[in-house]
Structure 1
Amino acid sequence: MAIIDLVRWTPDGDQTIYAYRFPETNLSTYTQLIVQESQEAILFSKGQIVGKFGPGKHTLNTENLPILRSLYGLPFGKKNPFTAEVWFVNKLQPYNIDWSVNRMDIHDADYNTGIPLVARGRYGLKIINAERFLIKIVGARTSFDQKDLTDQFLGEFTTKTKSAIVQFMMSNKIGLKQISAHLDSISNHLRTTMLPFWENIGFDLKK
């Protein structure tokens, strides 16, 4: 098969795409890799990460990828073919993920009764660990977008969000009449509680 001379990813204006796998894997030590300012590129070969590249133009030679010498026995300074998957990760800006909890039963101290509440909000996410993100959640896909993230984790982070809100309101004895005055505190508590969940899969939680 033909050897690829140039590897790059230019999104078609769809900023909800978190990661994209370049469709070809037949590379060489003369292949040029172009990484845009908003991206990080990670190469996988033989089941392991062989290189990570930030913005700029890079040659995929043994100087930039010394591990190729041991993986493929490639000599230094010559044009040699090898195979690798190239993943581009979009790290430009936060992505907004809407969430909603359809019902929470809160004991209201003012009325001394249980009151059903509905909560809605938005998480602002940004990829900070591309390696962890790719390994933990992208898997065998060819791309990963906002819908994939929502579909995969909606149930889990909605349950955790509901639990955090109920716990905060109960421990601080916040009743129905005080909710508006505590929205910032609830939001900050949610960030503190949910941050480890998102960091575990490579994201930072903005709000």
Structure 2
Amino acid sequence: MGLFDFIKGQFIDVIEWVDYSRDVLMWKFPDQDKEVKMGAQLTVRDSQVAILINEGKMADVFEAGRHELTTRNMPIMTTLRSWKYGFDSPFKVDVYFFNTRQFTDNKWGTPSPVTIPDSKFGQVEFRAFGSYNFRISDYETFFRELAGTNPVLTLSDVEGTLRGKLVDRFTEIVAEMAEHNFSFVQMQANKTEFVDALMPRISEYFAGFGLALTDFSIQSITLPPELQEYLRKNTQMNMVGDMQRFMQFQAANAVQKSAENPSGGNAGMDMGTGFAMGQMMMNMMNQQN
């Protein structure tokens, strides 16, 4: 190796993140304690952002593309280091890459039953499960709150924190809504509206970590067996009431048809069919109890 090649090998002239996994949120370029050559090529791929960190403080940000590191496109570094225009000496800096894609289908759930006051049942215990999507939105906050000095940060490194805090926030919000007479039955029947009410509040929590919550869903709500049985019977009772009203309607309709056509026999047939259908449905529900 010649002297020129030796000197060249002491400096970094190409910076890029090639082999990155979909579950990596942040990755530090391994500089091996070398200095970056002025004019080095920084390649930022799609779904990436590269940020120069000067002595722990965030400096210049580079979007997708190929960049030549010079004083012209490193204004913050130039100011922090008091470089003169045209400065071309090697320099020391940390380069972090951030994954900008959405991280989807992350699971959340209440590890134990949640007890809330309920305007209809007094108190209700339930468990909820769902998923959420997010992406990094504020790199400085994310770096400060979650990354720290870690050279690599993966989804598994943060999902426990995010899931735990999300469940805490979910429980707090549900309890607050219950205090304003929002019953569990309403929550079950209007799940979409319930999620819409939760989303802004949970988004505030994610923003504190430099993350944007892009989607939040409740996929299932599980009740204790005794409450499930109560709701099942209540539904059947409502169906019986509806069936009785249906039978009354059929009878009234048949009487009207009979009055309009005294010589016809179809009215009696309609009334008999209506009663038979109603009786059959009621017998089926009684067999289930």
TM class, shorter-chain normalised? 0.7 to 0.9
Give the alignment partner of residue 107 of structure 1, picking from 97, 113, 117.
117
Distance 1:173 1:18 in 2: 38
Q: How far off its partner does 1:9 sit?
A: 0.6
CA distance in 2, matches of 1:138, 1:47: 12
Name the CA shift for 1:178/1:47 in 2 (closer, same or farther; >3 Å): closer
- CA contact 1:72–1:82 (8 Å) conserved in 2: no
Match of 2:38 in 1: 29
Which structure is higher in strand share?
Answer: 1
Q: 1:86 aligns with which of 87, 95, 101?
A: 95
Q: Secondary structure at the match of 1:83?
A: coil
Superposition TM-score, scaled by structure 2 size: 0.65
Deviation at 1:78, TM superposition (A): 4.9
1:193 aligns with 2:190: no
Residue 19 of structure 1 is matched in structure 2 by 26
Q: Deviations over 1:41-60 (max 9, x none)?
A: 11011232221111100111
Once the two structures are superposed, the pairs formed by residues 54-73 of structure 1 within 5 Å of their partners are: 54-73=63-82
Asked if the contact 1:42/1:131 (under 8 Å) is kept, the reply is no
Match of 2:17 among 4, 9, 30: 9
What's the secondary structure of 1:31's corresponding residue? Answer: strand
- Helix, strand or coil for the counterpart of 2:163? helix
Which secondary structure state, in structure 2, belongs to the residue aligned with residue 195 of structure 1?
Answer: helix
The corresponding residue for 1:206 is 214
Partner amino acid, structure 1, of 2:152: S
Structure 2 residue identity aligned to 1:128: S
Give the C-alpha shift of residue 198 in structure 1: 0.8
CA-CA distance at 1:17 after TM superposition: 1.1
SS in 1 for 2:96: strand
Q: Which of 155, 171, 177 is the aligned partner of 1:168?
A: 177
Q: Within 2, Cα distance between the matches of 1:174 and 1:104?
A: 14
Q: Structure 2: where are the runs of 5+ without partners?
A: 1-8, 216-289
Report the Cα offset of residue 76 of structure 1. 3.0
Q: How many residues align?
A: 204
TM-score by length of 1: 0.88
Distance apart, 1:171 and its partner CA: 2.2
Opposite residue 120 of structure 1, the aligned amino acid is F
Q: Give the Cα–Cα distance (whole angstroms) in 2 for the partners of residues 46 and 113 of structure 1.
A: 57
More helix by share: 2
Letter of the structure 2 residue corresponding to residue 93 of structure 1: Q
Distance 1:69 1:193 in 2: 40
Q: CA deviation at 1:75?
A: 4.1
Instruction: State, as a whole percentage, how many aligned pairs show the same letter.
Output: 24
Please say which of residues 122-131 and 74-83 is displaced more in the overlay.
Answer: 74-83
Q: CA RMSD in A?
A: 2.1
